[in-house]
Amino acid sequence: MRGSADVVAALELGATPTPSAPVEMAALLPVPAPPVLPLLDRDLCILAFNERVLAWAMRDDVPLLERLRFLTIVSSNLDEFFEVRAAPQVTAMRAAIEQGAAMPAPLQALADHSHALVTQQYRIYNEEISPAFGRVGIRVVANRDRTAAQREWVHSYFAKEVQPLLVPVGLDPAHPFPKVANKTLNFIVRLQGNDAFGRHNDVAILRVPRALPRLVAMPAKVTEGKRLFVSLTSIVRAHLKDLFPGRKVQEFSQFRVTRHSDLSVDEEDVPDLRTALRQGLHHRHYGMAVRLEVDFGCSDTLAQMLLTQFSLPPQVLFRVKGPVNLGRLAQLIELVDAPQLLFPAWRPVWPRQLAQGSSIMAQMRQRDVLMHQPFESFDGVLALLREAVNDPQVLVIKQTIYRTGADSELMRLLGEAVRRGKEVMAVVELKARFDEEANINWAESLEDVGAQVVYGVVGLKTHAKMLLVTRREGRRLRRYGHLSTGNYNMRTARLYTDLGYLTCEAGTTADMDAVFSHLANQNHMPQLQRLVMAPFALHDRLLALIGKAADAARQGKPARIVVKMNALTDEALIRGLVAAGQAGVQIDLIVRGACMLPPQVAGQTDNIRVRSVIGRFLEHTRVFYFAWGVHEHVYLSSADWMSRNMLRRVELAWPVTDAALRQQIIDECLVAYLHDDRDAWSQQPDGRYLPPPHPQTGLGAQQALMQRYAGG
């Protein structure tokens, strides 16, 4: 193990800090405090992250279906952005218009950036990805390009599979505008002529059921050896006239409305949170409208009619050249079944620090174990839980559930543990956004077999990830714990980078048990020995560590902070980092998503560098490194540096004291990423990001780790 000073040097990117001037000189020549640093706009930072993801859809070195996947990821991300964050801005835009005021610059900037991103997205699809698919014999065929045989087949499919499910509604006083659910596909149609009763109702709305597939493969008999598909949108467009016999379709447009979908429940005022949330899930589909997508050629008349109907300002009207939901094109990846157009399959290896086939708990008694996903498999966690379920000496299993997925072997194992007579406690977070229904179902399923299910603390989300097993060993009880930076979700464990930590160290596992007890009975927390918990102590601990590094730098000692996380938006932590950088601390921030701290601002953040790594896997590990003088601290955590994580969630951070594991984390999660010139974007003072210097030939952290774990 290298000494602390060697580690600081190994992590060093900038110049060694210049020693501070003597205190006496500083007193004689006072330096005025630098002006308050303006922070970057959080929403624009989120959009900038999606621009970096979208860049993968343009990379020639990325397999074609993977380029499509990144394109659809951006669509899904934008959906969530509008569903969760856009309601206040849309309300403010609408108010400005009603008052005849100029649109505030931040709101206009948000609208401009989001429109530019969507325009770029469709340009990539139409001008790059679609032609590239055509060159390998894969096409989504528009009606104008279909042969007579293909049109005949599409007509037959429409008549048999689609038309029976469609019910167009002509608007009149007895037939008001129908309810339009969040993100559903719809058509607005203007008709000529009168209806069957001689009345002039010229507008109809057609809702397209979600049960219908958005892409359909044509049979081989009409494809001439190619892999051809038709979109549901195209099928309906081609047959609108069949839905309005006796009328002429004058104009039409597909449209899609995005609604505010963040569930809001007053936990203090409901007797049963689970029941209240289940009831709220239905209403989520009909929240406040925040975005309208229509065809690029939609007439101003139809567009204005829809804007008026949904009380939307024109700034959130998006005219798109293609399907209104590019995210649904992800179905093409499965339909094509072309492995050569995907990344080479990555099969995570069995965790290297665990002997396969041997008792996991016996190995934990020998040493702590670190698991690095997705390079190592999630099977080590399942093996621990499976061993606990089958071990008659195991008495109690406790686990937090945040995002485990609708189909989870882990949850089934918890149910089996109950059936085998063990005490099982599950802390289920019902408010995990967009996973509420799955978590409610799991909570009810576990309760049905006799598990003790609790929902954490009123007003706080339980985001901490921990599993605790209590086993009788002779005349004593021993606890075995697993802590993680990510979710207990087997699917995302193959797609997200995360660290899992196995330990039976008495202080850590006692802290875990205390946290579980607090979540169940909400008594006052005892003083924790090893773990640091939000909302009680984590924020203050991080500020204190930043402050100690700054104090050391002021004394002329080398000081270093390196933090890897998903987002940096907490203002107090940002101000602390800025002050530390001004004191001489060398700071590197590896922030995947939104970072509101502007780096490299002359005279203010010269010693702070920010990079964002966008790769094949979603970066999800949270690693906090602080070093000054002979001191070195490495923490792993479930928390990002956001106010919600620090003050409105139950989060955990834990120190890594094992020297070998600490060095492994430094090497794999920090040093590798600081030297990445293939997938790492560099943030500029104005919030823009410079792309990786060598995206095709450079050294990528994820590629290096795949080679390392595969034995390459």
Transcribe 536-591 into DSSP letters: TTHHHHHHHHHHHHHHHHHTT--EEEEEEES-B--HHHHHHHHHHHHHT-EEEEEE
Candidates 113, 372, 463, 539; catalytic one? 463
501 is in an annotated binding site: no
In order of 1, 391, 564, 615, 677, the CA distances from 592 in angstroms are 29, 41, 8, 10, 15
**Euclidean distance between CA atoms 689 and 574, whole angstroms:** 19
Question: Is 645 labeled as ligand-binding?
Answer: no
Pair of tokens at residue 446 = 């576990």
The type of residue at 381 is V
Helical segments of 371-494, H only: 379-390, 409-419, 436-449
Are 34 and 578 in contact by the 8 Å Cβ rule? The answer is no
Picking from 413, 421, 342, the residue whose alpha carbon sits closest to that of residue 379 is: 413
Residue 403 is labelled as binding a ligand: yes
Bridge-based pairing of strands 623-628 and 559-565 is antiparallel
Closest CA to 403 of 465, 467, 330, 494: 465
673 labelled ligand-binding: no
Residue type, 612: S
Annotated catalytic residue 539: no
| Cα first-last separation, the chain | 24
- What's the chain's Rg over C-alpha atoms? 28
Measure the CA–CA gap between 3 and 366, rounded to whole angstroms. 24
Could you tell me if 370 and 499 are in contact, meaning their C-beta atoms sit under 8 angstroms apart?
yes
CA distance 276 to 278: 6
Peptide bond into 535 cis (omega under 30): yes
Tell whether 291 is in a known binding site. no
402 is in an annotated binding site: no
Q: How many Å apart are CA 159 and CA 243, to the nearest integer? A: 11
Q: What does DSSP assign to residue 391?
A: -
Contact 313, 289 (CB under 8 A): no
The dihedral over CA atoms of 553, 557, 561, 562, expressed in degrees to the nearest 10, equals: 150
Q: DSSP secondary structure string, 139-174?
A: EE--GGG--HHHHHHHHHHIIIIIGGG---EE-BTT
Report the candidate in 449, 458, 402, 442 with the shortest Cα–Cα distance to residue 423. Answer: 449
Q: What is the rounded distance in angstroms from the CA atom of residue 62 to the CA atom of residue 57? A: 8
Distance (Å, whole) CA 621 – CA 8: 21
Dig out the tokens for 245 from the structure: 């016999």
Element containing residue 381 per DSSP (H, E): helix 379-390
685 burial level (CB within 10 Å; 0-12, 13-18, 19+): middle
Name the token pair of 193.
Answer: 């002529």
By 3-state DSSP, what share of the chain in percent is helix, strand and coil, each rounded to 5? 40, 20, 35
| Rounded distance between C-alpha atoms, residue 80 and residue 74, angstroms | 10
568 DSSP β-pair partners: 595, 641
Output the known binding site for Mg(2+).
403, 433
Annotated binding site for ATP: 77, 496, 592, 620
Q: Which residues are annotated as a binding site?
A: 77, 403, 433, 496, 592, 620
Residues with a catalytic annotation lie at 463
